Amino acid sequence: MEALIRTGLAQLGQAGRVPEDAPALLARYGALLLEKNRVMNLTAITQPQDVATLHMLDCATLLDCARFEGKTLIDVGTGAGFPGLPLKVLAPSLEVTLLDSLSKRVDWLSQTIGALGLEGIRAVHGRAEEAGRDPAFRERFDFAAARAVADLRLLCELCLPFLKVGGRFLAMKGTDCGDEVDKALPAIQVLGGRLEGRIDRLIPHTGVTHRVILVEKISPTPEKYPRRWAKMQKAPL
């Protein structure tokens, strides 16, 4: 995994821009993930080379989307830690919060953070729609990221409340998301955002291209958002 990650970062133009030990740390993270996945459902990707490319290098493509140095990021619905944990390894001065609703995943993430010797990153147990109303989290972050498969309208309602005005939401999607983005435009506006753009990147060592949807926070999110999850699903913005 380490060799694939190292050459992939070079293909992405990141060689010399990330810490020298980043590929080794990401490979160690991947090994811990596959080991735990034997007893806990963390990922459907189970081959080491695919973990290196479709997890680690996929997350690394975000480095082209923003300047993370010295900023704060919340990874909403982080699951096994993607994209927040790889971003922390690649941009060490980034302060990262990994938010997930399953306590077993959060416990494993906390153990993994310790095993990798990382500081300035925490795993938090909570539901995004509740944390987004908590003053400790609401409008506190420079970036929010999500790699979840949920509809973009729902993701925007979950993620934009976490952002400071001037912050950015990075939604990781497939290249077939055009209709989904169009449908989300009214929600983005209601929530205080503005569609900033779309960035397509080929994941090194694969034939897979993923798209990052960039949403800028231009005004505070109205207090009534986010709504309860059942309400969001029943009546998306």
pLDDT, one tens digit for every residue, the chain (237 residues): 999 999 999 999 998 899 999 999 999 999 999 999 999 999 999 999 999 999 999 999 999 999 999 999 999 999 999 999 999 999 999 999 999 999 999 999 999 999 999 999 999 999 999 999 999 999 999 999 999 778 999 999 999 999 999 999 999 999 999 999 999 999 999 999 999 999 999 999 999 999 999 999 999 999 999 999 999 999 999
pLDDT in tens, 104-133: 999 999 999 999 999 999 999 999 999 999
CB contact at 8 A, 89 and 60: no
Q: What is the pLDDT of residue 148?
A: 76
Q: What is the pLDDT of residue 15?
A: 87
Q: Which residues pair with 74 in a beta bridge?
A: 97, 144
Q: Torsion angle of alpha carbons 89, 58, 83, 65, nearest 10°?
A: 90
Chain position carrying tokens 């694939």: 4
Give phi and psi for 109, each to the nearest 5: -60, -40
Q: What is the pLDDT of residue 131?
A: 98
Q: Which residues pair with 211 in a beta bridge?
A: 173, 200
Give the number of other Cβ atoms within 10 Å of residue 76's Cβ: 25
CB contact at 8 A, 133 and 115: no
For the four alpha carbons of 33, 34, 39 and 41, in that order, the dihedral sign comes to positive
Q: What is the pLDDT of residue 99?
A: 98
Rounded distance between C-alpha atoms, residue 62 and residue 85, angstroms: 12
Q: Using the CB atoms, write b or e for 123-144: b if 16+ within 10 Å.
A: bbbeebbebbeeeebbbbbbbb
pLDDT in tens, 227-236: 999 999 999 9
pTM exceeding the 0.85 threshold for the entire prediction? yes
Give phi and psi for 35, each to the nearest 5: -65, -50
Rounded distance between C-alpha atoms, residue 139 and residue 217, angstroms: 10
Q: What is the pLDDT of residue 149?
A: 75
